[in-house]
Amino acid sequence: MDEGKSRARGNGRELLDPLFVSVRLREVFSDHGRLQAMLEVEAALARAEARCGIVPAAAAAAIAACCRAEAFDVGQLAEAAGRAGNPAIPLVMALTALVGDRNAEAAAFVHWGATSQDVMDSGLILQLREVLRHIEGGLEQLSGLLADMAERHRGTLIAGRTWLQQAQPSTFGLKAAGWLSANERHRARLAEIRPRLLVLQFGGAVGTLASLGERGMAVAAALAEELGLALPDLPWHSQRDRLAELAAVLGLLVGSLGKVARDISLLMQTEVGEVFEPAGPGRGGSSAMPHKRNPVASASVLAAAIRVPGLVSTMLAAMIQEHERGLGNWLAEWETLPEICVLAGGAVEQMAAVLEGLEIDAERMRDNIGLTHGLIFSASAAMALAPHLGARAAHAVVEDCSRRAIAEDRELRDVLAGHPAVRAHLTEAGLDALFDPAKSLGLAGVYVDRVLAAWRERR
């Protein structure tokens, strides 16, 4: 296949993108998407200045009519951007020439009073608005799936695990509620940063709009209205906290999704076998081992969770910008933030696909609680003996009985029943109650209900 045709058709990413990123968001940040966003800013600027009496209405219409990305040669713009230092400069030149071919008078008003960073930053904000819509929609779907899972499995017994070892009984519903609670916090964080993030960038050369004189603020307000963005208190060319905040929030989101993916992949291990990613033709197989059923979607989410933190650190480092316009650090954002966005979007999509068809083996979960021959109930036994023996002595008794249970391959309950200190204070019925998983769940059900109530109230 011709290499040039391959690059032109898919930007060289067709092979791996479906594994890791949101294809929809990759389109938003494609060359076409980036150019179109900047052109939308140029068209809106012309209309805004026409409203303020600076640009003739006919000229604004002529400019807007030319603001279509497909009218420009991406290759030529890319080559020129390498010399100019950013893609906005050659784009404005090409737009001016295109408008001039149709209306020489209108060409004089292209990009009037703006600077290249105004066009690139405001165009980026338009792209990020699409990112928020897409990811927020995905989070809403995730919350619905997790709420249903938490409710259905409110009482489904599972071994709670600490340091990868069985600890005490819990419920799968509580695990799902934990995932849901984190997801809801990320949804709230994105909603909270919306008004801070979705703002216009328009300041001219050094952020004073001096080229527009007394009409600068009127043009800025009209431009913000044209683009459907808020008007900030002042231009933010070298104040990058808004973008860094989005990067950080998406980093937190991907981290939580990575935690879900890690849990699911561990529960899918052959020796555990409590949950399984959805099965399907060509999904999760192995080229060498026909029996394999791999957690492929979880692997993709985990890969994003590994990659995104480094990208977030780049965005944080890029905040240190010199004076009124940074040197190099602004450029460092151009590929970094889009990559964070497409990876986060991809992680959300992959996780939704997993949760929608997650296979849950409740019987295996309960059976696995019995693997330790009752050791999973040792903490409950120690707590029951503590009022009679003291906490330290009770712990020592149960610890000694646990060692014996392991050495003699016996049930801990039976070993405890033969210990004099235990017989003196606990009845057979009392011991039976201690080793009943359903009576060892503490506030698991209460916590699930609290999370579900908060989710329902928010909706």
Parts of the chain belonging to CATH 1.10.275.10? 17-109
Question: What is the structure's pLDDT at 289?
Answer: 44
* Right CATH for 372-452 from 1.10.10.10, 2.60.40.10, 1.10.40.30, 3.40.50.620: 1.10.40.30
Nearest Cα residue to 119 out of 151, 87, 79: 87
pLDDT at 11: 54
CA angle 411, 416, 417 (to 5 degrees): 100
Locate CATH 1.10.40.30 in the chain.
372-452
Residues 6+ apart with CB under 8 A from 167: 159, 160, 161, 376, 379
Q: Which CATH number fits domain 116-199+236-368: 3.40.50.11540, 1.20.200.10, 3.40.50.10420, 3.20.20.70?
A: 1.20.200.10
> Would you name the residues annotated as active-site residues?
286, 325
Alpha carbon distance 421, 390 (integer Å): 12
Strand boundaries in 197-292, DSSP class E: 275-276
Cα separation, 198 vs 124, in Å, equals 10
Residue with tokens 């307000």: 221
**pLDDT score for 282:** 53
Closest CA to 124 of 194, 45, 201: 201
Strand segments, DSSP code E, in 207-252 are none
Q: What is the 3-state secondary structure (H, E, C) of 295-314?
A: CHHHHHHHHHHHHHHHHHHH
Predicted pLDDT at 274: 97
- Output the six-digit token pair for 255: 């981290």
pLDDT for position 288: 44
Domain 17-109 has CATH 3.40.50.620: no
pLDDT digits (tens, 9 = 90+) for 140-190: 999 999 999 999 999 999 999 999 999 999 999 999 999 999 999 999 999
Which residues are paired to 276 by β-bridges? 359
- pLDDT (0 to 100) of residue 359: 96
Q: Give me the pLDDT at residue 291, please.
A: 52
Instruction: Give me the pLDDT at residue 280, please.
Output: 64
Give the per-residue pLDDT at 283. Answer: 57
Per-residue pLDDT of the chain (459 residues; tens, 9 = 90+): 344 444 444 455 778 788 888 999 999 999 999 999 999 999 999 999 999 999 999 999 999 999 999 999 999 999 999 999 999 999 999 999 999 999 999 999 999 999 999 999 999 999 999 999 999 999 999 999 999 999 999 999 999 999 999 999 999 999 999 999 999 999 999 999 999 999 999 999 999 999 999 999 999 999 999 999 999 999 999 999 999 999 999 999 999 999 999 999 999 999 999 999 998 655 554 444 445 578 899 999 999 999 999 999 999 999 999 999 999 999 999 999 999 999 999 999 999 999 999 999 999 999 999 999 999 999 999 999 999 999 999 999 999 999 999 999 999 999 999 999 999 999 999 999 999 998 889 999 999 999 999 999 998
